[in-house]
Structure 1
Amino acid sequence: MADNERIPTVIADEAHIVYKIHQAGSVSSSPLASFKRLTTRAKNANIREVHAVKGVSFVAYKGEAIGLIGTNGSGKSTLLRAVAGLLPVSSGAIYAAGQPSLLGVNAALMNELPGDRNVELGCLAMGMSPAEVQAKRDAIIEFSGINDKGDFSSLPMRTYSSGMSARLRFSIAAAKKHDVLLIDEALATGDAKFRKRSEARVRELRQEAGTVFLVSHSEQSIRDTCERCIWLEAGVIRADGPTGEVMKEYEAFSRR
């Protein structure tokens, strides 16, 4: 796709994200103290504000796979949640095409229901018709590999290992074409065979003109699936460009 034909899917314009952490309670969190704060508009000393993302700007385009890298606490997951519309932007703005889909290791499935039923509900929640769900259910389960060592798809999700659950979540999400798919560490679990399958599926999503954001501690996954990389550190973009160049800068920083 030529540069003049590139279509933006996500635009971050000087986006700041601030969230609040409620610390351990004390006398200042009593009802009387809360009433005084309401009447005087004083701040609660037990609530700490965290400025997680600081003036981030970028444009993502159709067909791109973008790796988000940075040390722990750098704001990567916070940024993804804001792109997905799950966190408000304190100032600036984030615009996205359609409804971005966030896939993380904590994506909700129903633990008491079997895997195959979760596949059906997950696909219906993504907007598939019942006929589409029936047509894709077996392929989704096969892709996840949860039945490789037995008929686990008929067992409740609570019996699954964390790796099996993560693989099933990814398989459900990846069964649909997304304008914007946000993947937060969901490829970090599972064996090498599944990682290869999932990375290949990310490449297919790109070819279908979707945009993929990938947060992963696996530098190899970033290199294998993303041609562009955004390095976020302490809530600020340190570099944004071709994956090889940005990874080289990041690795030099990490060795300091």
Structure 2
Amino acid sequence: MDLGLAGKVALVTGSGRGIGAEIARTFAREGARVVVSDIDLAAARQVAAALNAGGAQAIAARCDVCSKDEVAKMVANATEAFGGVDILVNNAGFNKDRYLTKMDETEWDAVVDTILKGAFHCSRAVLPGMMARKWGRIVNISSRSVFGNPGQTNYSTAKLGLVGFTRALSLEQAKFGITVNAIAPGFVETELMRANPTYETLRDTAVAKNPVGFLGAPDDIASATAFMASERARYITGVTLYVTGGRFSS
């Protein structure tokens, strides 16, 4: 199936590794030009270099999505290199798990600001160009944790906030030919997850609770994201797609 992504410009935040990097690779395989953005510039450069070596067009950008000025610079560089941004994937985020009674304000702010303020800054920066061209796609990477996980009040709150952000922004932008959707991954095996000292316990618990009986891979999330960003999904907006293997609540 031709997704109609050839020649489009896709900006993927937090794409120096893990799910974000796989999303960047998937867009590149579909013929999109890719902006690999990460707070770790070395990681972003490594992903972009691999894409270029494979015949794609990609640039790397170092960006702290909590900074309005850094986001503006990133979008300006993308516009200079490729003429604009057609697709934004708000993927930047991380977790700092701790029970609420032991969580300090910095741990709350770091997680919530990166996920929610990051989506705010990045979306505001790319929307004027999309509105002018009457075409655009914003895909927000949420999580199954919107149903709640113990020790993740900050992360669950932020990821559920992205669902509300998605719904509201989709209504604002539909008349401009811009769709806004969310992808909510379940347990996905990434390098970061495998590095967790309790990985085997987490994996076994997730498999036992997953109706399909196996865990997701980064490519599962990337494929869903590419579809939502494509012309094939032009009649879908304001939706959260749960890519969880059928697992919802804990």
Structure with greater strand share of residues: 1
TM-score, with normalisation over the residues of structure 2?
Answer: 0.33
Structure with greater helix share of residues: 2
Higher RCO by CA contacts (8 Å cutoff, separation 6 or greater):
1
Bigger Rg, structure 1 or 2: 1
TM-score, with normalisation over the residues of structure 1?
Answer: 0.32
